[in-house]
Amino acid sequence: MASAKQGENINPQNRVGVAAIIIEDRHQTAPRVNEILSEYGDLIVGRMGIPYRDRGVSVISLIIDGDTDTIGAMTGKLGAITGVKSRVTLVK
User: What does the pLDDT read at residue 92?
Assistant: 75
Report the alpha-carbon distance of residue 36 to residue 80 in Å, rounded: 11
Higher per-residue confidence, 53 vs 7: 53
Alpha-carbon separation of residue 85 from 7, 12, 16, 68, 89 (angstroms): 32, 29, 20, 18, 14
Residue 8 lies in a domain: no
pTM: 0.85
Domain containing 47: what range? Answer: 15-91
Residue 4 lies in a domain: no
Is the residue at 83 inside a domain?
yes
Please indicate, yes or no, if residue 10 is contained in any of the structural domains: no
- Domains in the chain, number: 1
* Percent of the chain residues past pLDDT 70, beyond the cut: 90
User: What's 78's domain CATH number?
Assistant: 3.30.70.1150
Q: 51-71: per-residue pLDDT in tens?
A: 999 999 999 999 999 999 999
Answer whether residue 35 is part of any domain.
yes
Across the range 19-25, mean pLDDT stands at 96
* Average of per-residue pLDDT across 13-31: 94
- Alpha carbon distance 92, 15 (integer Å): 5
